[in-house]
Structure 1
Amino acid sequence: MTFNKTELLLLSFFFTLHSPAISWTTPSYAGRQGEWCLLQSNIGITAMHMQLLHDDKVVIFDRTDFGKSNISLPGGRCRNDNKDMALGVDCTAHSILYDIATNSYRALMVQTDTWCSSGAVVSNGTLVQTGGYNDGDHVIRTFTPCFNEICDWTEFKNYLSQRRWYASDHILPDGRIIIVGGRRQFNYEFYPSLSGTFKLKFLRETYDHRDENNLYPFLHLLPDGNLFIFANTRSILLDYNQNRVIREFPRIPDDVPRNYPSTGSSVLLPLDENNGRIEAEVLICGGARRGSFQRAARGHFLPATSTCGRLVITDQNPSWVMETMPTSRVMSDMLLLPTGDVIIINGGRSGTAGYDSGRDPVTTPVIYRPSEHPDWRFSTMSPSSTPRMYHSSAILLTDGRVLVGGSNPHPAYSFTGVVFPTDLSLEAFSPPYLSEEYTSIRPRILSLDQTLGYGKKFSVSFHVDEYLSDSVLSVRIVAPSFTTHSFAMNQRMVVLRIISITHESSDMHTLSAVGPSTAEIAPAGYYLLFVLHGDIPSTGAWVKTG
């Protein structure tokens, strides 16, 4: 049997990601394990929080109460804050706006402390950022994209009814944001604020008086509109409209805590509109064993867990299926790639989250393919030269790269005399699908309907040099995440239903597909639409649902 060049490339790509243990004798391709690129060596702040916006700019911010950053506010501006615990007058920036296209950035001004806060993007594309620490713990801040150089943060003080520090946010089908938990906050509330605070006994029950382990709870919106909440080792399904817990799921079997400071990560696997009944499945990986946080404070760093758990929430009798990563991991980020695979990136092998509490950096990303045979699911990628420990973050970019930044496990910026110096750089990881070897089969979107109505037909025209077949074509939308502390809030992918494909020529094609069926599947807002051809994605194009 012989193969042409394109078939060899696809087979190489398949075996690289699906079966790393099998010997493969085709030529070596440069992008087989992905590639790293340093974008900026010093952006002035450490990237504790990141959000991609629909103008292809990234809002990045740190905290404000530790002293000066390494970037000044423009125009002689200064922040005057008599409640700041470090400086009463601070003329440095603690937030920036990064422009992907030009690889440049400008300083933004936040007035109150954003330390360990949360966020979500509402339907008009505005980032709503919630809480923080000290004078920022009751604050709502908004940032709306603009096509000039003057837009900045707007702040609404004392908006939140409770202190929200280490809380998690999720956008809801009706456009509200639910804000869940926070340090010693066993309740939730909404933005816009309509009804005050709602108690949630589950958060009190999962609070560990020694290590906490239920901060930044994992939130996932399900196809029926209810909210999956995971904290510590337990999970529930919440009807937030009725303030009622519908069901509790089995505990994760190995009893390893997964939330801050034990800090694993979680994703909702892609929702597929092609299968009739839409199945919702959660993947949770990494974390630290009980007592690890206290042991780390005494200089003893216990190995993190190497386990992942999968739970099909929509099953009648769901149970966890456990798997093992190539290495133990804590403080790692998990992101959905355009292919529907999951990249696990950043973090360490031992200790926990928290100041100077982690050790043994893991600089090699892992790609997890959820639909493959369990023996073939994990593939180890090329290593970075930069450790990304506590207070690092990662997000998916429009072109399919992963933007990585941050790492500052210290109360202030410390560049010398510490195990892990404060890192102010940004770098990008290009997964194997971005390798030049796949250029001939990579689709390029030419035009599309930019508004996707619920259940409505839309069209996408695209170009591809070597068209393989209709059977390897798919289209999906991805909601960009608000990422901090190893949890990508609001992240979701919906695989849409293709109803026809028209071939204008050998390299020009148009597909017709159906928009997401409901707001519970895809809340109204901006998404990245990707066309996939033979597992190779196009660059994403911005569309709006609803």
Structure 2
Amino acid sequence: SSSSSSPSATQTGPAVVQTYGNWESQGCWSDTPAARSLTFVGNTGGANTPQKCMDVCYAAGYNYAGVEYSVECYCGTTVSNGGTLKTDGCSMLCQGDKLAYCGGPDRLNMYKYNGVVPPPTTAVNGGGNAASANGVTPLTTGLPNGWAYKGCWVDGAYGRILPAAGNPVGLNTPLSCIASCASLGYAISGVEYGAECYCSNTLNNAAAIATDADCKMACTGDAQHACGAANRISLYSTLDTMPVYQKPTALTTGLPGKYKYLGCYQQPPGGKSTFPYQFKDLQTMSVQSCLQKCSQYGYGSAALELGTECSCGDPADVTKNSPGPAPAADCSVPCRGSPTDLCGGVSKISLYSWDMNETPLYVWNTPANKGHYELLIGGITIPLIATLGLNNKVTFTEKAGTGAPNSTGAYELDYSLANDYTKAWREMHVASDIFCSASLVLPDRKGRILNIGGWSGAATEGIRIYTPSGSPGINGTTDWQENWDKVHLQKGRWYPGAMQMANGSVLVMGGEDGSNGKPIASFEVLPKVPGGPTYLEMDWLLRTDPNNLYPFSFVLPGAGILVIYYNEARILNEVTFETTKMLPIIPGSVNAVGGRTYPMEGTAMILPQSDPYTDPLEVIVCGGSAFGQAFDNCVSIQPEVDNADWVIERMPSKRVMTIMTALPDGTYLIMGGAQEGVAGFGLGRKPNLQALLYDPSLPRHQRFSILGETTVARLYHSEAILLHDGRVLVTGSDPEDNGQNPQEYRMEVYVPPYLASGLVQPTYTIANRDWTYGGTYRITVNLAQGPISAMRVTLMGAVSSTHGNSFGQRTIFPKFTCTGNVCDIIAPPDAHVCPPGWFQLFVMDGPTPSYSQWVRIGNDPGQLGNWPNSPGFTLPGVGGL
């Protein structure tokens, strides 16, 4: 024997054998049947262990040994065929020792002998199983129903003819291998070299039949019957005729889109990948499916490896990471799902690239007029929620303990006085901690701001209301009102969602019962109906907790409610809240679905609606994360369309904790967030400082424009809202990341391109600001540029911004007609096209917006103006303005 095993401490679980005499573990290495890393087969006589394999290789004169796929042993004098060290995949337990690892599919636990190996004393394969000498025959009777013996076949001439490894229970026999392959969905089963089991639905690599006499090794679990031999495999199948595919070649024609084959390329050393995104398909991987998936996510480079692996990225990744081309022969592994095509090799990739010159996969616009960031004012708060009130001031609420020790938790900014710090800010007060709450602007006569939920204890049940007062340049006098003893939620909610319903009520959904507490997987409606509990439990919120917090929700024109949570979306009946339609799973990235709501936090918006409102409503979700890998795409869907599916559009950069604002010209400003991580304190990395513009009027995959940059990181607890002058206010950031990025008091504005052009903003006057559905309302406009034929009118829903949500967001282009400069606007037709609420009315002179004025549409059908009728609350009442 080459060595003896030394005693070891009692093991409590499986482990890698590290040393055995002079043998030492070299780690987990890649391997493939088409090109073995250790080229000689060792025969351990069944019940394989690392020690048995090392003994066999030592006796045969080899200084390298490797165990693979539980039952296989290989030997060599060097590592061949580009075998590389891997970080994973050696996870199968040894057939003869369930406390030791013996490689895995296409993975070797490799060992090296430190010293001089004497000349061989036995053949490397041990002369075959002892039973071979006595003559063995194929098993032809007693087979499972439908299975039949198909003969002895040559294996390995050009690579494995059955690519998938089986996992039989116990020692290998034809019956145990058939059972394993059948359970995996395969119609062909093959036993080889006594101990090996393989599966497939096709015969690959120019499979050729041999004579039964060539399959002369006894099965490790059945000494009377043949289980192939070295490079011979005994086949069984349910198929009358087994499909045979010839030796594969590189696929160069009939490729999806504008992909072209570039050749065989090397992967980087050390088990790394050329491209950042990978996925495996052990059953149906093909060149076509790999290229289609890469192009779906907007990646111009696609690569295949080892027959089952696809990776996606950009041409720059090849330049940066790959050592360069490899010999064509190194890419010799057939694709698992298309066996006549090559799909790379061991640490070698079959590389394809999209011809961007002929037909671009995407276009990222770089306009000369990008707009720009400006510092507006220094702050006295680190906001959690930002809301533009009817007084055209911004009210902020703040997490307790975040800002200065004497912070009151709420402040109001009069941005018309931004040049006078002492007058711009007004101190306000909240009675409980609003951390992780949600806000809405109510449709009552005063446009009160509702805040619900909170941090812990009674605060999670909090209902708080603020009535905006004052006007630009004139101080307000009102403050937040709260009376928990009389008015509170039925369930405490931390990170809830909220939505203005078509009937005028407020829908409150989801959350947890406190910081990282148990899920509150229910809906409740405000005002609460008198009597006992009225909340409704939702099993899908329970199932997806904690990845569904701050869910996105929207009223649909067809009278349903769309809810987007984690990576799912569904339409609910607006009366019973029962699910009426499930939408497809929301895609994330090539290799992970991930999520779009907190803590994977992206942001969602309704795309513009236009008279006559016959086009299907479309929703877009931008950014998100796969538990740390931030997404570089937006996905959109028309949820009410039959068989609707998500459309993926690649962004120029990755983004989680995205902030996004709808603009009155129908575009969307995307800002802030991180390029790695998830939402939460200290969990986001690499701030994204680049602003983007998304224009849904442009063709798909050409809608993003790269705008200006900021120097201010906007990470966890950042917000963005549209101001009445057309600028976008950008606030907040409370990363708590050990000082890498500061808590942000600075308030910025983004000046969109439509205000950076130097054109004069139009003006208008309006008399009636209380609109009913379908009514006609007159404005008188003054256009600085004209003509009137290029004018548009925009209605922008009142928004509260926090955690990727823009509660109340809607962009509507209503119908209007003009005689001279007098224009009549027709209000939206109903509460499903336009839920009741307050809207900023903008007039667009070509690309340039006016200052907005507030109009109410749909009155107050839920009579929220009379709620809550309890001490401590000032009620505006119901009726006209």
TM-score, normalised on structure 1?
0.83
- Deviation track 1:467-517 (CA, whole Å, cap 9, x = no partner) reads 2351x222121112111112111111121012x2111xxxxx122120111
Q: Residue type of the partner of 1:129?
A: N
Give the number of equivalent residue pairs. Answer: 470
* Secondary structure in 2 matching 1:39: strand
Q: Residue type of the partner of 1:460?
A: I
* Secondary structure in 2 matching 1:101: helix
**Deviation of residue 525 (structure 1)?**
2.6
Alignment of 1:71-470 (within 5 A): 91-103=406-418, 104-124=424-444, 125-134=447-456, 135-147=458-470, 149-157=476-484, 159-183=488-512, 184-194=519-529, 196-207=534-545, 212-254=546-588, 255-275=593-613, 277-289=614-626, 291-292=627-628, 303-410=629-736, 418-439=739-760, 442-468=761-787, 470=789
Q: Give the match for residue 376 of structure 2.
A: 39
Q: Residue type of the partner of 2:769?
A: Q
**Deviation of residue 351 (structure 1)?**
0.7
Q: Give the match for residue 836 of structure 2.
A: 524
* Residue pair 2:650, 2:701 contacting (<8 A) in 1 also: no
Rounded Cα–Cα distance in structure 2 between residues aligned with 1:216 and 1:516: 28
Rounded Cα–Cα distance in structure 1 between residues aligned with 2:398 and 2:465: 15
Q: Residue type of the partner of 2:535?
A: T
Q: Does 2:818 correspond to 1:501?
A: yes
Higher Rg of the two aligned structures: 2
* Residue pair 2:785, 2:845 contacting (<8 A) in 1 also: no
**Deviation of residue 449 (structure 1)?**
3.0
Distance 1:437 1:146, change over 3 A: closer
* Secondary structure in 2 matching 1:390: coil
* Residue pair 2:365, 2:705 contacting (<8 A) in 1 also: no
* Residue pair 2:619, 2:637 contacting (<8 A) in 1 also: yes
- Deviation track 1:52-85 (CA, whole Å, cap 9, x = no partner) reads 1111011101112x27x33xxxxxxxxxxxxxxx
- Deviation track 1:90-136 (CA, whole Å, cap 9, x = no partner) reads 75311101112223111111111101100111112011100101131
Rounded Cα–Cα distance in structure 2 between residues aligned with 1:253 and 1:259: 13
- Deviation track 1:158-215 (CA, whole Å, cap 9, x = no partner) reads 61011111001111122211011002111111111126211112212322xxxx2211
Distance 1:502 1:426, change over 3 A: same
Rounded Cα–Cα distance in structure 2 between residues aligned with 1:482 and 1:463: 30
**Deviation of residue 445 (structure 1)?**
1.4
- By relative contact order (CA 8 Å, sep 6+), the higher-ranking structure is 1
* Secondary structure in 2 matching 1:136: helix
Rounded Cα–Cα distance in structure 2 between residues aligned with 1:224 and 1:51: 29
**Deviation of residue 146 (structure 1)?**
2.0
* Secondary structure in 1 matching 2:758: helix
* Residue pair 2:555, 2:835 contacting (<8 A) in 1 also: no
Structure 2 portions without partners, runs of 5+: 1-361, 419-423, 513-518, 859-881
* Residue pair 2:655, 2:674 contacting (<8 A) in 1 also: yes
**Aligned-CA RMSD value:** 1.9
**Deviation of residue 465 (structure 1)?**
2.5
**Deviation of residue 150 (structure 1)?**
2.6
Q: Residue type of the partner of 2:392?
A: D
Distance 1:524 1:317, change over 3 A: same
* Residue pair 1:288, 1:330 contacting (<8 A) in 2 also: yes
Distance 1:224 1:34, change over 3 A: same
**Deviation of residue 278 (structure 1)?**
4.4
Q: Give the match for residue 480 of structure 1.
A: 798
Quote the sequence identity (%): 28
Q: Which runs of 4+ in 1 moved over 4 A?
A: 18-22
* Secondary structure in 1 matching 2:759: helix
Rounded Cα–Cα distance in structure 1 between residues aligned with 2:428 and 2:848: 36
Rounded Cα–Cα distance in structure 1 between residues aligned with 2:414 and 2:749: 13
Structure 1 portions without partners, runs of 5+: 1-17, 71-89, 293-302, 504-508
* Residue pair 1:396, 1:480 contacting (<8 A) in 2 also: no
* Secondary structure in 2 matching 1:437: coil
* Secondary structure in 2 matching 1:424: coil
Rounded Cα–Cα distance in structure 2 between residues aligned with 1:99 and 1:358: 31
